[in-house]
Structure 1
Amino acid sequence: MENVVLIIHLLLALALIGVVLLQRSEGGGLGMGGGGGAMTGRAAATALGKVTWLLAAAFFATSISLVIIAAGKSDSSSVLDRLAPASSAPAEDAGDTPSLPGGGSLLPPSPSTDGSLTPSAD
């Protein structure tokens, strides 16, 4: 069901893009020229304008239905609820420090008393 609605949604998006690009430009940016448009009191007079409104309404309907379908399939828990607290993780043995295959330590070097850096030997 979700795939069918998603395909319809994508087809509506492509059709909406095509219909908008086919419309005549009114001139001026952001609807500031030519008079009319979606912000006026008059209804859309052209067939392309009516098709645009119809496709936009269908696009919003499929968007909302996709959200409802996805919410129905999801768990009721949040992503944050799935994260385990750091304190519940099993503690490693303190004496078990990671080491490299050659025997070197993965820990950063610790400064010695003379100022030079020496690998820490715990």
Structure 2
Amino acid sequence: MIYYHGGGWTLLSIDVYDPVTNYFSRRLNMVVISVGYRLNPEHSQKDGLDDCLKVTKHVIKMAGKYGIDPERVVVSGDSSGGNYAAAVFLVLCDEQLKPMPNIQMLIYPVV
């Protein structure tokens, strides 16, 4: 699972979401990679999306190195992170990335 944290694109961090991602990792028995993306207002929302895309593509490309099955990647997030998860999935569809993440887990996404 690649997890993009919430916070309205302006606050919070992977440190704040550590209990959430640890919970998912333990309960779902999977590797969870939490993405620390650039925040507004210092950076644009597109910068944050670019960070999320870069990490996601890297994880898929290097999945074996991280002990991840590239055919079973999940993109997930809550609130603004849910927006990024949906946007990442759509961009990767447009780019016809292979393999594609096969699940989106969107938690009260801003869409």
TM-score normalised by the chain length of structure 1:
0.23
Q: Which structure has the larger Rg over C-alpha atoms?
A: 1
Greater relative CO (CA pairs within 8 A, separation 6+): 2
Q: Which structure dedicates a bigger proportion of its chain to strand?
A: 2
TM-score normalised by the chain length of structure 2:
0.25
